[in-house]
Structure 1
Amino acid sequence: MTPSEYDRYDGLGLAELVRTGQVTAAELCEAAIARAESLNPRLNAIVRPLYAAARQRAGAGLPVGPFSGVPFLLKDFGGYYAGVPHTSGSRALQNFVPAEDAELIRRFQAAGVNILGKTNTPEFALMGVTEPALYGPARNPWNVAHTPGGSSGGAAAAVAAGIVPLAGAGDGGGSIRIPAACCGLFGLKPSRGRNPTGPEQGEKWQGAAVEHILTRSVRDSAAMLDATQGPDAGAPYFLPAPVRPFLAEVGQPAGRLRIGFSLEHPLGRALHPECAAAVQAAARLLESLGHEVELVPLPFDGRAVATAFLMLYFGETGANIAALAHVLGRPARPTDVEPTTWLLGLLGRTYSAADFAAARHTWNDSARRMGRFHQQYDLLLTPTLAVPPLPVGALQPRPVERALLRVVNQFGLGGLIRRSGIVEKLAEQSLEKTPYTQLANLTGQPAMSVPLHWTAEGLPCGVQFVAPLGAEAVLFRVAAQLEQAQPWFDRRPAIVV
């Protein structure tokens, strides 16, 4: 199989070739490795190749499932893959090797995928760009001067470049949808509780974070969710099983939906014209497909959502740093992690339990607001991002900020910095680029980014749909309808053409 032939198929298409004997899993493995060796030096998407083991599995035979023999990549964050270092993008964890597979990884493998390696992610998956000090920045196949987004940026770059047709990803504040929007991919964040988080974790990021995959086709995402969905032992959340397989929803009539769309920036900032144009074009397309589309104000308090998310962000980072002691055999020091990560951890320790509880009330308020919204509208349509993909390095601290970080971290001045207001200013400057995605993480709703627009400079610019809790089926039906009306699968970056 030549690289160009390999790139013509999605995951289910490749699996069908294997099932019918037209190609072997070994041939797919070699095609993916050849593509990775050709493109990864320019993209830095794969940070831990596992090619020898993949070749061995391809020769020995893979489990029979919907994706038998299909090359696949795991994100170097989230679910553990036994026997393989799990760094989470941090030098503090370079030598950490989990002994047991996470339940989701077991289900990926039972679906028949062949794991080729692990992908780049920012330290502890904390950023909407993928530029860890440990591995260096991942780059966007559509323009290598720009970011593929984050935190699943390495996964998105690899899928967009055609190295693999699908790759593992996670989403705690937009980390599936942001890179999907940056790289011209389909990215669905499932409902809270749809996919398992065990065996070690009951919930991730207080239930805000979930894991799934990034794909080029809608049906690959649906088929993999069929393979992985459902609670595992001790799961803290339980969703009713889908009425029928999600894959069966792809191609089913979507009906006449009421869709509210908004061009408001949740933090009151200016929305980039290309992102506004993406939503407006999507609204017109949906109208042409028979849906009722209406401009609406944002049905949630954007500033309150941002504040609640930042409380989670600071607190979980502080907890992650404290947990490093179990791996390091001593308390973590500032030199163990990146300066920004250490500051976030300091800030997490300056807030009280009452502060955290108050922020959690915002989660519930937001869920109730969205519940009332969905009594009138089936879906909410917004930009996925407020700006097109940023240049690599755009969110890195400037020299004066790096100097301030060194002083703050050296003397443990998190409380002083918090009281100064500098943190809120810097955090808002960051969240103003990605203000739309955190809502669904706090409410637990499913949401997806769909690649319907490219900028004048040729960069992808996704649009986001948010559905009621447990309504992935509606998202898959609409996404498949849009995919048929305005196909994106064959639109490829110049780097791979």
Structure 2
Amino acid sequence: MEKVDIAKRKLIQASTAIGASAMLGFSLKTQASASTHYTSFSDYENWDITAMADLLRQGDVSPLELTDKAIEKFEANSDLNMVAVEHFEMARNKAKSLNQLSRSARRQKMSNSPLLGVPFALKDLGVGLAGTITTNGSQFFKDNVVTENSTLVTRYQKAGLNIMAKLTSPEFGQTPTGESTLHGNTLNPWDKRYSSGGSSAGSAVAVAARVLPAAHASDGGGSIRIPAAHCGLFGLKPSRGRVATGPTSLESSMGLSVHHALTRSVRDSAMLLQLTQGKEPGSRITLPNEDMLGALHTKPRALKIALMDTHPFGYPVEQDIKDALTKTVKLLEGLGHHVELAKPDLPLQEMFGGMGVATSSSLLKHVQSREKALGRAAREDEFEALVWGHLQKAKSFTAQQMLAARTGFDKGAQVLDAFFNDYDYIVSPVTTAAPPKIGELTLNQPYDDFVKVVLKSSPICALFNITGLPAMSVPLHWNKAGLPIGVQFAGSFGNEAGLISLASQLERAAPWADKRPTAIA
């Protein structure tokens, strides 16, 4: 490996040297980080995507070195069980080809692909990388070879990311943990007895364990924010329509599910969103592209923030979560923001009544497509118990129920839009409890038992999937047992830039970069 000697060098935003990119039509602004220094390749675990891109541009590390280091980290932490489908050799071959380019040629390529050579991975659910398997965490899809790229994957590749693997998810993301019959249990690197959160479980673990600087994730009811909260990461769920979900489905699960990433730094989330935002052919719910990177340097004005400290259905909020909220409110007020107790009067029954209709119908559609491809019917023994039950129930849904579901979503959105006329943001728990232990959220248990636990995890997050609004989990608290507790912030439709601005301010005021799990290799 090449020796890295980068003492006292200012880290610049990866795109400073490259100006505007014609690929997606955005302007990348300089992000200086004068306090960040590197003295050797052993600092790999501290590098985020932005840092890696800068090191690659300067020639201080090579794409193959980064790829090999990531593979080494995957293998050293294999006991955490984060990999669903391995693409290591494909990634090494890509890195080798980049290594053969001269330094000037690589830098020239980075003018259009600013993250060229940075290691990355996809969630094993709902995305396609042509010619590779996406299992969706399901035995029925265990050898499902995808024939075309998802639009988002193509954008990742155009940005230069080197895709190394697909990372674990429970079967069709139907539970907020990383447990499946096909892939086993994905363990929380902060304490292996506990769930990593889900359904973007493997992505969260890979980033928290310092295997990768960031990873793709998706969120249909909290699946970015819950693992971010449980693993001490930053997790932003974009607004409906911000990031393309096609070409197969332009509005996944009737708009509930959206895609983005799990990161350790706010700037990486902003970078990835900057590179992947924008409509695709056929899109009708679209948002104008925003300057996400510029938002990092925009100090929020004094904000009026609503504190929603209760569960939508009245479930108790545990003390760990109350402590996190108390700490966060004090932090916000110290930064000059005004926080007051307030919550929207939402039509909860109509809103949540449609979630099962939307998610189960989407699941049935995917299974029927797979049945057609295989030329045979799916069997009960190829699915986990609760998923099979969802499939059977979905077959009875009517067109009227589908319409009622979407109407309920829209009514909730109307209420929240009006609420955000009076408040800039809502601060709330991500979940009402600390990470549950492995086994508590398995899909192979009686439905009533599952519901008792899952209601602690998803409903607060799901409010913003149902209504299509952006929301983020920020790692602002750790409990006495050393487990991370994320805090959720939600904003008005299309206001990801505002959330990034606030998150960046919080990151500076209460930095979390130096916090790392002890149970990682």
**TM-score normalised over the length of structure 1:** 0.91
Residue matched to 2:195:
147
Residue matched to 1:450:
474
Matching of residue 54 in structure 1 with residue 64 in structure 2: no
SS, match of residue 75 in structure 2: helix
Residue matched to 1:410:
none
Do the aligned residues in 2 keep the contact of 1:195 with 1:231 (CA within 8 Å)? yes
Residue matched to 1:19:
57
* TM-aligned CA deviation for residue 349 of structure 1: 2.2
1:58-96 residue CA offsets vs partner (Å, 9 max, x unmatched): 121285223222111111112200111111111111221
2:122 to 66, 71, 74: 74
Q: For 2:286 and 2:441, locate their aligned partners in 1 and report how far apart those are by CA, in whole Å.
A: 38
Matched residue type, 2:64: A
1:295-341 residue CA offsets vs partner (Å, 9 max, x unmatched): 11344244543322223233323333333312321121212222211
CA, structure 1 residues 8+91, in 2 after alignment: closer, same or farther (shift >3 Å)? same
Q: For 1:229 and 1:181, locate their aligned partners in 2 and report how far apart those are by CA, in whole Å.
A: 24
Higher-helix-fraction structure: 1
Q: For 1:265 and 1:38, locate their aligned partners in 2 and report how far apart those are by CA, in whole Å.
A: 39
Do the aligned residues in 2 keep the contact of 1:50 with 1:116 (CA within 8 Å)? yes
Q: For 1:388 and 1:3, locate their aligned partners in 2 and report how far apart those are by CA, in whole Å.
A: 35
Residue matched to 1:133:
181
1:179-226 residue CA offsets vs partner (Å, 9 max, x unmatched): 111100000011111111222222111111111110000000001111
CA, structure 1 residues 327+455, in 2 after alignment: closer, same or farther (shift >3 Å)? farther
Q: For 2:449 and 2:398, locate their aligned partners in 1 and report how far apart those are by CA, in whole Å.
A: 21
Q: For 1:50 and 1:397, locate their aligned partners in 2 and report how far apart those are by CA, in whole Å.
A: 27
Q: For 1:98 and 1:269, locate their aligned partners in 2 and report how far apart those are by CA, in whole Å.
A: 41
Matched residue type, 1:209: S
CA, structure 1 residues 112+395, in 2 after alignment: closer, same or farther (shift >3 Å)? same
* TM-aligned CA deviation for residue 275 of structure 1: 1.0
Residue matched to 1:415:
none
1:388 to 428, 434, 439: 434
SS, match of residue 387 in structure 2: helix
Q: For 1:304 and 1:431, locate their aligned partners in 2 and report how far apart those are by CA, in whole Å.
A: 17
Matching of residue 369 in structure 1 with residue 406 in structure 2: no
* TM-aligned CA deviation for residue 52 of structure 1: 1.2
CA, structure 1 residues 300+25, in 2 after alignment: closer, same or farther (shift >3 Å)? same
Q: For 1:236 and 1:297, locate their aligned partners in 2 and report how far apart those are by CA, in whole Å.
A: 30
Matched residue count: 472
Residue matched to 1:6:
44
* TM-aligned CA deviation for residue 350 of structure 1: 3.0
Name whichever of 204-213 and 351-360 sits farther off: 351-360
* TM-aligned CA deviation for residue 434 of structure 1: 2.1
SS, match of residue 164 in structure 2: strand
SS, match of residue 464 in structure 1: strand
2:72 to 31, 34, 56: 34
Q: For 2:404 and 2:367, locate their aligned partners in 1 and report how far apart those are by CA, in whole Å.
A: 23
Residue matched to 2:272:
224
Q: For 1:332 and 1:153, locate their aligned partners in 2 and report how far apart those are by CA, in whole Å.
A: 26
Q: For 1:9 and 1:33, locate their aligned partners in 2 and report how far apart those are by CA, in whole Å.
A: 16
SS, match of residue 73 in structure 1: strand
Matched residue type, 1:23: V
Q: 5+ unaligned residues in a row in structure 2: which ranges? A: 5-39, 99-105
Residue matched to 2:455:
431
* TM-aligned CA deviation for residue 397 of structure 1: 6.2
Do the aligned residues in 1 keep the contact of 2:80 with 2:205 (CA within 8 Å)? yes
Matched residue type, 1:11: I
1:184 to 232, 236, 254: 232
SS, match of residue 461 in structure 1: strand
2:208 to 153, 160, 184: 160
Q: For 1:32 and 1:255, locate their aligned partners in 2 and report how far apart those are by CA, in whole Å.
A: 40
Do the aligned residues in 1 keep the contact of 2:254 with 2:406 (CA within 8 Å)? no
Do the aligned residues in 2 keep the contact of 1:266 with 1:301 (CA within 8 Å)? no
Matched residue type, 2:194: H
2:315 to 258, 261, 269: 269
CA, structure 1 residues 118+350, in 2 after alignment: closer, same or farther (shift >3 Å)? same
Do the aligned residues in 2 keep the contact of 1:177 with 1:449 (CA within 8 Å)? yes
Matching of residue 471 in structure 1 with residue 495 in structure 2: yes
Matched residue type, 2:95: A
SS, match of residue 180 in structure 2: coil
1:393-426 residue CA offsets vs partner (Å, 9 max, x unmatched): 1123677x3xxxxxxxxxxxxxxxxxxxxx6785
Q: For 1:323 and 1:193, locate their aligned partners in 2 and report how far apart those are by CA, in whole Å.
A: 24
Residue matched to 2:10:
none
SS, match of residue 254 in structure 2: helix
Q: For 1:22 and 1:223, locate their aligned partners in 2 and report how far apart those are by CA, in whole Å.
A: 21
Q: 5+ unaligned residues in a row in structure 1: which ranges? A: 402-422
Residue matched to 1:414:
none
Do the aligned residues in 2 keep the contact of 1:189 with 1:448 (CA within 8 Å)? yes
Matching of residue 496 in structure 1 with residue 513 in structure 2: no
Q: For 1:209 and 1:223, locate their aligned partners in 2 and report how far apart those are by CA, in whole Å.
A: 21
Q: For 2:163 and 2:360, locate their aligned partners in 1 and report how far apart those are by CA, in whole Å.
A: 33
Q: For 2:466 and 2:518, locate their aligned partners in 1 and report how far apart those are by CA, in whole Å.
A: 37
Matching of residue 441 in structure 1 with residue 465 in structure 2: yes
CA, structure 1 residues 287+214, in 2 after alignment: closer, same or farther (shift >3 Å)? same
* TM-aligned CA deviation for residue 284 of structure 1: 1.1
Once the two structures are aligned, what percentage of the paired residues are identical?
38
Residue matched to 1:409:
none
CA, structure 1 residues 132+3, in 2 after alignment: closer, same or farther (shift >3 Å)? farther
Q: For 2:450 and 2:203, locate their aligned partners in 1 and report how far apart those are by CA, in whole Å.
A: 27
What's the C-alpha RMSD, in Å, of the aligned pairs? 1.8
* TM-aligned CA deviation for residue 431 of structure 1: 2.4
1:292 to 325, 334, 338: 338
Matched residue type, 2:55: L
1:248-274 residue CA offsets vs partner (Å, 9 max, x unmatched): 110211111110011111111111111
